[in-house]
């Protein structure tokens, strides 16, 4: 078990870059709207996803169409100049040539940029750079770039061993983890528990695990979450389908998940955080996501005694510890 | 959905009859000790299990040896005269001849006795009376005997359809359900959610679902729970194995499970209750079970506003509604 005092929980908010066809002026307006919307959230960092089609992973029809987006690194560099906090730029390793990835790593300002390295969505994908190769390139070209890995509770529940994959990523340089969207809180707790005890057995540090939360305001968003591989427990799915206001129901479910995870991690002194995203682009769902992040900020900031006490030993927000 | 106001939650405590070899005088002393221990709990009923070997269900070695017990009906009748509240006598259908079962049904005082009918532990068992036959005999010989069915969340999680089996038992006469020991609260919520919405779709009443809780104070008890088919989530198993005081950890887990289930059922207006048992005969675990029941009594009795309001419309405690 880690004896380190947990830091104040991280709060991240994740966005998808605009479509690739977006004109620069419009991309800038989108970036400004986004910054304005998120400015008051006191985020530790803004996450920018590197979206993959992923239809090679799932033979079922994608509930929302896949539209190629601007490169998240380009979007951050060219349009998010007015964002005065860190950004976490996702890098989907398989999409990029090793040379391009190495150049990107070398070019980053480590005071402003962090990254998360993502593996291919299926073993059948045409992979330009494998995940281990991406980790190697990052060690070589940007050893000081704080870099996270992806952790998937569903994979732990179905196949086991996700904690070992997390440990391997940590050995490769991961200084934090961001999960897939969590609806199955038991699966997330089991994954982080196995990870925590494995770190204890190995005498190594438990690095922060950031849990991704996303509200669901419609049957279609629910279908998309499940298409993405998120396990939505039967009772939650039932409640979302039988309520007159799925968005309000989902919001309450997300708050309950966050409280359960916060209690669990605090009790075990596991450093943690939350990453809020909206998997849909519907305005009501985006606004509910921002409200959820604000709620977490208020709750985490004005948290219980244990968290307040722990906060005094906190690392600087947005400074993932390696 | 049921529009009926939920009753005050039921509180049951379950015991196993003494070994078959127990002398009558000793059986009486055991009964008296049990009554004295449970008298202050304000129980709605005392449950007496009808223990089956069950080793036909599970090829792995039984962590605690199987010892035949006194018949729970005989034990209740001959030794529990000083227990002045209802008893719920389990009947393991497959163990009994149809004639003996019919006679037992006919002989019961329905003001004092309720029953729960249990099916064979595996389809390979030598079955004297099938479960549907037992339900038929009960309708014929004791139509006024309040009778419950067993509900197994693990079966719902692995195979699905437990809510349909509950609905079929309800059609056969079940006026309440008692679950297998719950450690996987998500599985229990999913089962009861599907059951609740299925009742709503059919326009029928949701009958009370009584969740069984059992503390676990040692690695051996944990092994026994898992042998019995209880799914213990990985994070709970980890915590039980890494703590210096598994009994205290398990007690806290049981309280958290109970609170989660109480909130869930209250929000959905599903009538519910708790049945506390100790699967082990270790004194510390039995005493912790009694404390757990007392805690639930205090918490349920002095429940939140919703429960207090609902209590005014409650059915008489211990009177399962048909």
State whether B189 and A233 contact (CB < 8 Å): yes
Q: What is the pLDDT of residue A61?
A: 79
Going from the C-alpha of B246 to that of each of A195, B146, B216, B288, the distances in angstroms are 20, 37, 7, 11
Provide the H-helix boundaries in chain A. Answer: 24-38, 72-79, 98-107, 131-141, 153-158, 162-172, 185-202, 219-227, 234-242, 246-268, 283-301, 305-311
Summarize pLDDT for B230-240 with one digit per residue, the tens: 999 999 999 99
What does the pLDDT look like over A198-211, one tens digit per residue? 999 999 999 999 99
Residue A318, pLDDT score: 39
Q: In angstroms, rounded to a whole number, what is the distance separating the alpha carbons of residues B250 and B55? A: 26
pLDDT at res. B313 = 32
In a domain, residue A68? The reply is yes
Q: pLDDT over 70 for what percent of chain B?
A: 88
Residues of A with CB under 8 A from a CB of B: 1, 184-186, 189-190, 192-194, 197, 233-235, 238-239, 242, 264
Tell me, yes or no, whether B233 lies in a domain. yes
Query: Is residue B25 in a domain?
Result: yes
Phi, psi at A69, each rounded to 5°? -115, 170
A116-125 tens-digit pLDDT? 999 977 666 6
Q: How many domains does chain B have?
A: 1
Domain assignment of residue A14, given as a range:
10-314
> Quick check: B193 and A239 in contact, CB under 8 A?
yes
What are the tokens at A142? 């940007």
Task: Note whether residue A321 is domain-resident.
Answer: no
Phi, psi of A89 (to 5 degrees): -95, 115
* CB atoms near residue B201 (< 10 Å): 10
Let me know if residue A1 belongs to a domain.
Answer: no
When comparing pLDDT for B30 and A62, which is higher?
B30
Cα–Cα dist A14/A12, whole Å: 7
Cβ of A238 and B197 within 8 Å? yes
Give the residue from B171, B169, B162 showing the smallest Cα distance to B148.
Answer: B169
Q: What is the CATH number of the domain that holds A217?
A: 3.20.20.220
Res B300: pLDDT: 74
What SS3 state is found at B141? helix
Q: Is there a contact between A193 and B264 if contact means CB atoms under 8 Å apart?
A: no
Token output for A305: 């005694």
Does residue A270 contact residue A281 with C-beta atoms inside 8 Å? no
Residues of chain B contacting A, Cβ within 8 Å = 1, 184-186, 189-190, 192-194, 197, 233-235, 238-239, 242, 264
Whether B310 is in a domain gets the answer yes
CB contact under 8 A, B238 and A194: yes
- Looking at residues B81-87, what average pLDDT do you find? 93
The answer to whether the beta carbons of residues A13 and A87 sit under 8 Å apart is no
How much is the pLDDT for B61? 80
pLDDT in tens, B4-41: 444 689 999 999 999 999 999 999 999 999 999 999 99
Q: How confident is the model at residue A63, as a pLDDT?
A: 81
pLDDT at A25 over 80: yes
Band of residue B114 on the pLDDT scale cut at 50, 70, 90? very high
Name the average pLDDT for chain B: 89
Per-residue pLDDT of B159-210, as tens digits, reads 999 999 999 999 999 999 999 999 999 999 999 999 999 999 999 999 999 9
pLDDT, one tens digit per residue, over B158-168 is: 999 999 999 99
pLDDT tens track for A246-296: 999 999 999 999 999 999 999 999 999 999 998 888 899 999 999 999 999
Give the H/E segment covering residue A214: strand A209-214
Which residue in B186, B189, B238 is closest to A193 by CB distance? B238
- Given a cut of 80, whether residue B293 has pLDDT beyond it is yes
Residue B136 resides in a domain: yes
Alpha carbon distances (Å) from B219 to A37, A103, B182, B216, B240: 52, 53, 17, 8, 8
In a domain, B4, yes or no: no
Whether B193 sits inside 8 A of A264 (CB atoms) is: no
pLDDT band at A58 (very low <50, low <70, confident <90, very high): confident
Subunit contact A234:B264, Cβ cutoff 8 A: no
Residues of B in contact with A235 (CB under 8 A): 186, 189-190, 192-194, 264
Whether pLDDT at B66 is above 60: yes
How far B295 CA lies from chain A's nearest CA (Å)? 21
Six-digit token string for A74: 């380009």
Alpha carbon A236 to chain centroid, angstroms: 22
Q: Which residue has the higher pLDDT, A7 or A61?
A: A61
Are the beta carbons of A56 and A97 closer than 8 angstroms? no
Question: Confidence band (pLDDT; 50, 70, 90) for A311?
Answer: very low
Of A184, A186, A238, the CB nearest to B193: A238
DSSP structure class, residue B253: H
Query: Does the pLDDT value for residue A314 go beyond 50?
Result: no
Q: How far apart, in Å, do the first and last CA atoms of chain A sit? A: 17
Is the pLDDT reported for residue B129 higher than 70? yes
């Amino acid at each position: 078990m880690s004896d380190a005092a947990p830091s104040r929980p991280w709060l991240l908010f994740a966005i998808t870059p605009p479509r690739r066809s977006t004109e620069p002026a419009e991309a800038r307006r989108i970036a400004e709207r986004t910054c304005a919307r998120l400015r008051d959230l006191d985020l530790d960092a803004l996450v920018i996803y590197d979206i993959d089609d992923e239809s090679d992973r799932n033979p079922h029809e994608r509930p929302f169409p896949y539209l190629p987006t601007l490169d998240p690194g380009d979007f951050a560099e060219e349009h998010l100049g007015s964002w005065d906090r860190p950004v976490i730029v996702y890098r989907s390793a398989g999409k990029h040539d090793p040379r391009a990835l190495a150049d990107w790593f070398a070019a980053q300002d480590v005071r402003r940029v962090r990254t998360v390295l993502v593996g291919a969505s299926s073993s059948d994908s045409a992979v330009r750079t494998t995940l281990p190769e991406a980790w190697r390139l990052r060690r070589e070209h940007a050893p000081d770039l704080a870099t996270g890995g992806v952790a998937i509770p569903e994979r732990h529940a179905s196949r086991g061993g996700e904690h070992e994959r997390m440990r391997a990523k940590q050995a490769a340089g991961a200084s934090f983890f961001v999960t897939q969207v969590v609806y199955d809180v038991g699966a997330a707790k089991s994954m982080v528990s196995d990870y925590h005890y494995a770190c204890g057995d190995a005498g190594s540090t438990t690095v922060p695990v950031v849990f991704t939360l996303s509200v669901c305001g419609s049957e279609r968003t629910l279908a998309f979450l499940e298409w993405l591989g998120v396990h939505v427990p039967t009772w939650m799915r039932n409640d979302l389908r039988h309520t007159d206001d799925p968005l309000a129901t989902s919001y309450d479910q997300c708050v309950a998940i966050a409280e359960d995870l916060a209690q669990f991690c605090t009790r075990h002194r596991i450093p943690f955080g939350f990453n809020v995203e909206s998997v849909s682009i519907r305005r009501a769902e985006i606004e509910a996501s921002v409200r959820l992040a604000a709620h977490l900020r208020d709750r985490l900031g004005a948290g219980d005694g244990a968290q307040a006490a722990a906060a005094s030993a906190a690392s600087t927000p947005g400074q993932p510890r390696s």
